[in-house]
Structure 1
Amino acid sequence: MRRLGSVQQKIPCVFLTDVKPEPSSKRDRQQFQVIATENVNPVAVEANIDGAVATEKLDGTCCYVTLHQGRLYLWARLDRKPNKQADKRFKKHQHTHQSSKDFTWNVEEDFKAVSEMWIPAHKVRHHNGHPMPDEHGHIPGWVPVEKSNKQYCWHSSVVDYEVGSALVLRPSSDEEVLEITAVPLADLQEHTLELVGTSINGNPYGLGSKKQPVHCLVPHGSIPVTNPPPVDFQQLCSWFQESPAGRVEGIVWHCKDGTLVKVHRHHLGLRWPVGDTHLSSRSVVVRVDAYSSTNTLFTALSALNGHSFRRLQDVQLES
């Protein structure tokens, strides 16, 4: 499986950004918008963005595969966030200083409690043995997905720990066609992936239905953007609005030195979702062999083993 950059931290925008004091079109209750300028981010220039691999940014929730109690598990993204009092102090500091720099955190008291199984994401800065928040006031991290936790039921639906497999959506050997297949967790170890499907973020890809939900994992960096536009503000705007391949949430560039940079449609003032997306319009084949599984989604997809569908959004489970 193709392996590009792992997503452990928030990815910077490929352009320098401005903050506008108006309600966000992306996040409810956020009273500001982050808008791209036409100036390319020096981070992207230094990492040779022109030689980077462009991949589709997917609209789901971030996951990670690593060990838990000696076994490979799927982990869900869970960022530690400040409690109300600390958040109020942090926002007041940001407003006064127009920056999150120089704010003093008391990590032991300022943050909401998390499970004792929570781990910080890679490259989180530590001080005196404590993980420290980023410039947004969050501490990125992960919690293991256990079957007993109903909060992560859709995460649980795509893994079978007894067999040691996960349901993955990826390009098949024919790059033009996607496949939904069961992949050993061992092949995904230390990968980050995006969980997409019926009950995630309003289901922009039209997967499944409320009666028969469908979810799957997409390894980060696995869906290449064919003939991506140059990293130019106006050309990217035109591509997102006019090209069928531009009906995506955004682009993530994987630079040769490991640097990741992105652009989201909202950075450019463009709406998302967009109806029929590029991903949901691609053809797909189901390759999930029949085997003894207590996981109902694996069983339901195995009944479709070998079936091809003209569009991803046409994949419907049998009642």
Structure 2
Amino acid sequence: MPTITEYYGISEPVPFVNVEVTADNRLYVDPHAIRLRKSGQPFADLALLCLDTFTQEVTDSILQGTPASLRRGEQILQRFVEPWETRLGMSRRGFHGHGGGDIVGTWIWGVLTDDVEALVRIGVLKQIEDLPLFVDGVDRDITSDITTRIVFDALVKFTAQMLVQYPEFTGGDHQVGTFTKQIWSTDALDWVDVEVTLPVADGKALLLVPTGWARPTLLMSAGRYYGTSVLTFAQLEQAVVGSDGKLIKTPKDRLKKQTGLGRGRNTNLAVTMKAFEKGEDLLAAFKAFVHGRLDKSEPEDKAA
């Protein structure tokens, strides 16, 4: 199946993720990748503003705790629609695979106002990429779908720039179309409908994604957080000083078998709260770890 460059006859390299136009591509828009790679990336600042204002509106509605604010928080989470325009992810495992964006939003809202509300209230959970670490069922597919919807305005503006930069998108028999799409407005701090112009490929609107914004896995995953920050905290908490003055740590494979330290998001949540009570922000430390380990040579934008 043709990639975007093959379909339009564009010479590589290109500044967008070069996916196949007629199939779901197993790459996922990663909000933390956008955050870490924003330097020099077109429209990354707008994407981050969209992400952070959206998350702020949701968390503020929880912190205010009034009936009106709680209704608003749930309502803006229920306005997700399937972001099939990018051709990224796997639709059977995204919003559609979970019953629809409104159902996914309701489910996330329930977790935010119950299981992880404490993290919201103490200010630890404050970015959209934090959700996969603590919310069961929110993995790369749902995270990608949510992120794509929230940063849709930035992706539309990036695509418009690509239409100017690459006349092949409108050359020959290729066409663009005008579509009414929902975007998150950083001015209105709400969802609004706008008319956008997008290329039409294989009869469907095509939304381009900047290089570096999509990956085969999330930089911040529940398993990675558990295996690094969570178990490392448990190791140090249980460590004892040997006769030689050195710390003796319990191996991580043994820690995993202890009650309360088994792999899972419940453990991530419990240990994160425990660490916070002792003055340690495991989530901040994990983000610093991820930033330090980011391999910029990874071929993350190639469709698998």
TM-score normalised over the length of structure 1: 0.21
More strand by share: 1
More helix by share: 2
